Amino acid sequence: MSSNKIQEKKELSEQEERETIEKSLNYSIREASANSVMVGSGESFISAFIIRLGATDFQIGLLTSLSNLVAAISQVISTDITDATKKRKKIILISILIQSLVWIPLIFNVLFWKSIYLTILLFAIYAFSGNFLIPPWSSILGDLVDKKNGGFFFGRRNSIAGLTAFITSLLAGLFLNKISNIHSLLGFGILFLIASISRLLSLYYMKKIYEPEYNVSKEWYFSLIQFIKRMYHNNFGTFVLYLFSMMIAVSIASPYFSIYMLNVLKFDYLKFIILNASHTLTSYLIMTYWGKYSDIYGNKKVMTICGLLVPLYPLLWIFSSNFYYLLAVQIIGGIAWGGFDLSTSNFVYDAVTPQRRARCVSYSNFFKGIGVFIGVMIGSFILSRASISKLPTGIFHSQYQLVFLISGISRFLVSLYFLRKIKEVRTLEKLPSKDMLIDIIIREPINSLITFPITTIKTISTKINNHSNNHSPNNHKIFVNENTREKNKK
């Protein structure tokens, strides 16, 4: 065979791999969208379900704290199994299947048993399986997506998923609000069935995603104990301590917004889901915008901006109980949390090598889960000791507002202390002038929220047309990780 023919065959092989990765990135968006249907129809209503059953503050806190605790442990176990078996995709598929099946006994619990503690237990299993797949899934995505454009890709993927979750949860809220007049609990059972089916659909798309070869050697291994010993002396360790402390501060209040809306403010399910969904939608839609700026200026800078905005969110809940005021607060919170979640997630991709990525993701999420557990317990303790009669009546009309205040102040102190200690790991452009910075924080997010749904619909229409004409997807060529192709060539 001539050298020209050999070269032609080699180039064809590279082209095939490029197309495979491009298709996988498209499938990852479809998988995320199907998963969002599960979140919007099922996970978003778990707290509302046990509140309907009469859950106490302690039980609401236990729902959040236990699920986050087992989620933290599951990721450490998952990383060890992933490195030992090197079968990332198989671990992911089994975890998704288990998570989809957990909804079945939850449906029976809705119809027959109506047990709060059984719901908490099943939701803990749900959280365990859902988080078990995160380290291997993060590892695969890290192999497929080009780091230079990772912020934009993940921002767009998360935005599409967020729009799907918003539409699903809004429709689910309308449905639940309507059917609750006929049967108080039947609606939850129907929503949980939809959640189970949609998770099975995400399993279908996940099976189509390409898994690059996973090479890991013992020299890259380090235990959780070793990580803890070193974390005080390196940049990534400081970053993890920041997340740990921030999750404590956040979780002092986070589980109790639902019970505050439903039991204190007496919002119906429609208002409840509009407030929750607007926060989720905003945070996901804004990720495309934040992703663009994190690619230009770095994840640390976006993290700093949003880390100082996040403390405002619980504080704003204190000043009014008006629905439209709280809707505006939810949008502001969504803007801050969208950038914070994206920048902290992508910082891991920048800060660690591919060989250590899965383990570093699991260890950082382990500390986040422990932080949530501690924070919820602190919030629960404060609520058990607080009495509305002892609080200033001109400011507080509920003890829940006290935990909102403590959470907001704690978030600010944590960000103020840690953010100056974390260093950017990439060499990027400097932040613009103060006027441009204000433009970035205010005008650009609003434009992003307005224009994204329109561009998303156009993108989806293009994809449908391409698919019907048997064209290979090419919307993500710039996101394909060149290192993956080079590694597989070798």
**Domains of the chain with bracketed CATH:** 20-212+223-471 (1.20.1250.20)
Q: What is residue 42's DSSP assignment? A: T
Phi-psi region of 322 (alpha: psi -120 to 50; beta: other; left: phi over 0): beta
Cβ(168)–Cβ(37) under 8 Å?
yes
Output the furthest CA–CA distance in the chain (Å, rounded).
90
* Among the listed residues 133, 353, 370, 369, the one whose alpha carbon sits nearest the alpha carbon of residue 236: 353
210 pLDDT higher than 50:
yes
Whether 120 contacts 96, CB under 8 Å: no
Residue 473 has a pLDDT of 41
What is the residue whose two structure tokens read 């710039």?
A: 478
pLDDT tens, 96-113?
A: 999 999 999 999 999 999
Q: How far apart are CA 369 and CA 363, in angstroms?
A: 10
The pLDDT, as a whole number, for residue 446 is 61
Residue 125 has pLDDT above 90, yes or no: yes
Please name the residues in contact with 70: beta carbons below 8 A apart, sequence gap of 6 or more.
Answer: 124, 125, 127, 128, 131
pLDDT tens for each residue of 16-51: 888 899 999 999 999 999 999 999 999 999 999 999
Residue with tokens 């996901």: 284
Q: Kindly tell me if the per-residue pLDDT of 357 is higher than 70.
A: yes
**Distance from the first to the final alpha carbon of the chain:** 22
| H-run or E-run covering 455 | helix 444-468
CA angle, residues 365, 369, 370, in degrees to nearest 5: 120
> Is the predicted pLDDT of residue 444 greater than 70, yes or no?
no
Cα distances (angstroms) measured from residue 112 to each of 63, 121, 188: 20, 16, 12
Structure pTM? 0.84
Q: Tell me the helix, strand and coil percentages in the chain, rounded to 5.
A: 80, 0, 20
- What's the pLDDT score for residue 82? 92
Give me 330's structure tokens: 């939810």
